[in-house]
Chains A and B, each alone.
Chain A
Amino acid sequence: MAQFPPPDFVQTDSAIVGIEVYMPAPEPDIAPQGVVDFKCPQCGATTAYSVADGGICCEHCGYYESPTREVVGKGAQEFEFKVETLERAAVGWGAQRKELVCENCQAHTSIPVEMLTYTCPFCGSNKVIQRDAAQDVLRPRFLIPFQVTLEGCQVVARQWLGSSWMVPKDLQRLAHVTDFVPIYLPFWTFDAVTTADWRAQVAHTVTERYRSGGEWKTRTRTVWRWESGNVRRLFDDLLIAGTERLSRVLIDRLIHFDLTHLTPYDPNYLAGIRAQAYDVSLEPAWAEARDAMREDTRRACRAQASNSRMRNFTMNLDFAEETWRYVLLPVYVGLFTYANQTFQVMVNGQTAAIAGQRPVDWTKVWLAIGGLLAPGVILGIIGLVTAILGIGVIIGVIGLVLFVIGAIIAFFIYQKAEGMDDV
């Protein structure tokens, strides 16, 4: 004890008279610092986060603040499922933000206080109610900053709009209408180790010889043999979306984020960018993650059996080393209208992966389906007509084969087309 109190220690309460207690100074809490003003220190205009290098850049006077990016990646602190955490949520956002509730789609969006005009990024409606963001939510501790620029996003989107033959021809021309909004979406990451032991009766086929009517014959029979085993699975950073406001289908297509770029939360990253607070809270998200983990473990257990045919399968599963993280991940949300219909597009702000709804030119689709089925139908008719001549059977069979193949392909095309505009 060369120095007293030790460096970075501060005095704290003591329960006993005559004993002073010092503890390491708690890390500065972002929450109580009040309003963080994202005003340019030079001209007073609202500054914005610059995607190009992660700094703060003023559009008005050119003031520039270099980035203070510190990447913690997958080493970002993980939290245990403390009873108290689950029971009592922590304080709200770092900087004071306002929450907007869309009257049209009920989405809750958190925006910086200085942002005055606003339309809902999810449905495009401007019927929004402004209110102070709820403070009884857990605070995000880490995020992945935007790495795709708005321009880059537009390029990706334009390519994507023209990348399918099923969309209307003039759709690509409308691409400029699409207005992308960067938004941080809430995600939960979960880690756990599962250990399981299982037991089941597995089917084994045995061949046996027996004598019947003075002759040796063989027959096969199924015998059920008990098998058992154990499995240990490690789950690292399983991502679960913290919002139900956006299409789960779209989010699942975009969810492949590279978490090695996780950065400690800093309100600066949210300068001029919207962020959504979670509406799927920790417990339901964890239940969803656990469900995925236990199903994965169950598959691993079943895969250990010597045959996939089994009965009376039972397993006991124990979760251990469970941890969670609340992170914000960058996504561009875009909307475009075509033929008086609104379509949603999302671009992964880190990897530029794109997913969204596209209008389908059903004429093209039906034509294609018709084209696929036609050879089979025609050959079938020819077969019927020529049946009297005797060669019709062969033609009819070929026609049937072609029809079946055509129908299968047509079914997939139809399914894809359905999926494109209805997500």
Chain B
Amino acid sequence: MSEHVLPQTELEAWGTDVQVVVCETCDWRFVLPAETSLPRCPHCFGTELELLSGEVSELPYVAPPEQAVPFAVSEAQLTGGIETFAKGIPLPPKDLNPAALRARLQAIYLPRWWVDAEVAALWQAEVGFDYEVVSHQERYSDTVGGWQARKVHEGRVRWEPRAGRLRRTYENVMAPALEAEKALRAQFGDYDVTRARPYHVDMVRRAPVRLPDRVPAVAWADAEMALRRRAGDECRQAAKGDHIREYRWQPAYPKRNWTLLLLPAYTTYYLDDEQRPQPVLIHGQTGRVIGMRKASLKRAQRIALILGLMALIIFVLSSISLLAVAVAPPLLVLGGIGLLVGMVLGLSALAPLIVVWRFNRPRRRPQER
């Protein structure tokens, strides 16, 4: 393991004094202005955040991003989203309430690789050209006494082989910079990156910036796939075709430049029964909220216990009154009713347990952190 020193020139490029902190629990790394501090990790909500300085085992990518998608969720939208999230949970944990979620809201930027590449390639493909043919549909009827014809146009595609040479520069090709990005995007939906603005120092002042945990060497395969898609589509346009298939190429990349695009998000959390923080993530552009909504089993158990105890007491008292029937016959009625009420109460003690169990069960999908 070689030791590296954080590159000071890159840190200075952020436009303000920045620090790199690392969460001891989840190992996420963030860049934030030197004068601010994070009380909790915006990812796992652990409190042990350490300053990354001096010597590190692996050199992180700490240069400022090229562009960022701005936060675009209004306060009202944010409040509405959180309230909807907290609503409709039977016996929610005490901590799961809009006020608490709102108070813990933390804005962060998530990174995505934003690659510029110069490509030189030989390519080959089948290019499809749309055209129309004329066909006929006819109807015959004795009563009408003849044929009624209808001319219809049918669309077809003519495929023709094409080959060529390509030398183009592709800018802002995207590749995941986080291991979790794919799963996150599946739940979260994508961002409208056309809204991205060039990096400004206010951005890092607004929210801590998460550093990539996926190095360019790993992310390159994704970038290359995106490049291939773009080049294929451009070759289709170059050949004036309407479709392309069987695109094959032999690319070389004389120049590659890696930068970051930042995507806005909010994180917050609530504490569940075991007092573990359950993360809640909010899309910084669409306001979509994702997170695990859990009902509190503890609360359900407590209610069930109280109901059960009440049932037991009624049951015991009724039994005693039944034993005393010989002495005072009217006690038969009282004892009978009491016995019935006790049984009903005892059964209803199961209800909160069932409700909570059923609510938590289908929602128990593996959650991205």
Contacts and interface: CB of A to CB of B under 8 A. Distances in A.
A315 B237 contact: no
Contacts of B257: none
B135 A19 contact: no
A16 B136 contact: no
Nearest to B140: A315
A24 B161 contact: yes
Contacts, number: 110
Nearest to B161: A24
Interface in A324-379: none
Contact of A18 (B122, B156, B166): B166
Interface string A58-83: 00000000000000000000001111
B235 A318 contact: no
A52 interface: no
A23 interface: yes
Nearest to B167: A18
Interface string A1-38: 10011100100111110111111100000000000000
B328 interface: no
Interface stretch (A92-100, A173-181, A306-314, A397-405): A306-314
A316 B137 contact: yes
A368 B80 CA distance: 108
A24 B160 contact: yes
Contacts of A320: 135
A319 B137 contact: yes
A18 B168 contact: yes
A200 B141 CA distance: 10
A294 B161 contact: no
Interface string B114-154: 00000000101000000111111111111100010000010
Interface of A is mostly: strand
Given A6-B124, A15-B238, A290-B136, A21 B162 contact: yes
A298 interface: yes
Interface of B is mostly: strand
B239 A314 contact: no
Nearest to A201: B142
Interface residues of B, number: 35
B291 to A, nearest CB: 45
Interface residues of A, number: 38
A1 B164 contact: no
B363 interface: no
A20 B165 contact: yes
Contacts of B161: 6, 23-24
A14 B166 CA distance: 11
B250 interface: yes
A84 B133 CA distance: 8
A319 B248 contact: no
Contact of B238 (A19, A81, A290): A19
Interface in A75-127: 80-84, 86
B163 A319 contact: no
B190 interface: no
A19 B124 CA distance: 12
A1 B235 contact: no
Given A20-B164, A24-B160, A82 B131 contact: yes
A313 B142 contact: yes
A14 B167 CA distance: 13
Nearest to A321: B135
Contacts of B136: 290, 319, 322
A316 B168 contact: no
A250 interface: no
A1 B250 contact: yes
B276 interface: no
Interface in B82-138: 122, 124, 131-138
A4 B237 contact: no
Contacts of B132: 82-83
A19 B163 contact: no
A317 interface: yes
Interface of A: 1, 4-6, 9, 12-16, 18-24, 80-84, 86, 200, 290, 294, 298, 311-320, 322
Nearest 7 pairs of A and B residues by beta carbon: A19-B238, A16-B238, A14-B238, A18-B168, A20-B165, A313-B142, A314-B141
